[in-house]
Amino acid sequence: MLSKKEFVAILLLVIALICILNAASFGNIVPTTTSYYQLAQQSASASTAYICVIYALSTWLYHSNFSEPRQHIRIVFLAMLLIMIITHIAVLVLTIIDQYFNEVDDSINLTEIHTNFGMTCRLLTIVLTTFTIVLLVVVFIYLCIITVQKQKEQARRRENIE
């Protein structure tokens, strides 16, 4: 059976893999210099993957016998998760606007500009970004519950000592 930390770590590694796949699939549509939305999406995905790998591996590479540093790391990670969620929501909105509500759509059909592979990659990017947001929210809620439980536990210990 996995511990809470290991469960979160494996979920973070899955998120990192999805983000790397997302950045790679979106990189095949158009050159990065022609789409700043694509650059924003790739940057958000790559940075999320990097942060998730660091926090996931810290489960097995870092250990503290004291509960306060672990609690501080949880709080910092909650802040990082919140930033990643907001960033991915912003990137998702920009990607949807760029793909479906672009001013170019009025004058030209996007399927004539992009190949079927490019359009599939655009749709795949939207799906993977949505899935990433859902997984990040799940980790955020789970970690919030753990953090609140641990804070209550620490408060009880302090009362028993005094």
**pLDDT (tens digit, 9 = 90+) per residue, 85-128?**
999 999 999 888 877 776 665 555 555 556 677 777 778 888 99
User: So what's the pLDDT on residue 14?
Assistant: 95
User: So what's the pLDDT on residue 12?
Assistant: 93
Rounded CA-CA distance 32/153 in Å is 49
Average pLDDT over residues 132-150: 93
Average pLDDT over residues 68-80: 87
The amino acid occupying position 94 is L
Q: What is the mean pLDDT of the chain?
A: 83
> Which range among 44-53, 59-68, 117-126 has the greatest average pLDDT?
44-53
b/e code 19-54 from CB counts within 10 Å (16+ = b): bbbbbebbbebeeeeebebbebbbebbbebbebbbe
Average pLDDT over residues 127-131: 92
User: So what's the pLDDT on residue 13?
Assistant: 95
Identify the residue whose tokens are 């660091």.
Answer: 54
Task: Say what the pTM is.
Answer: 0.83
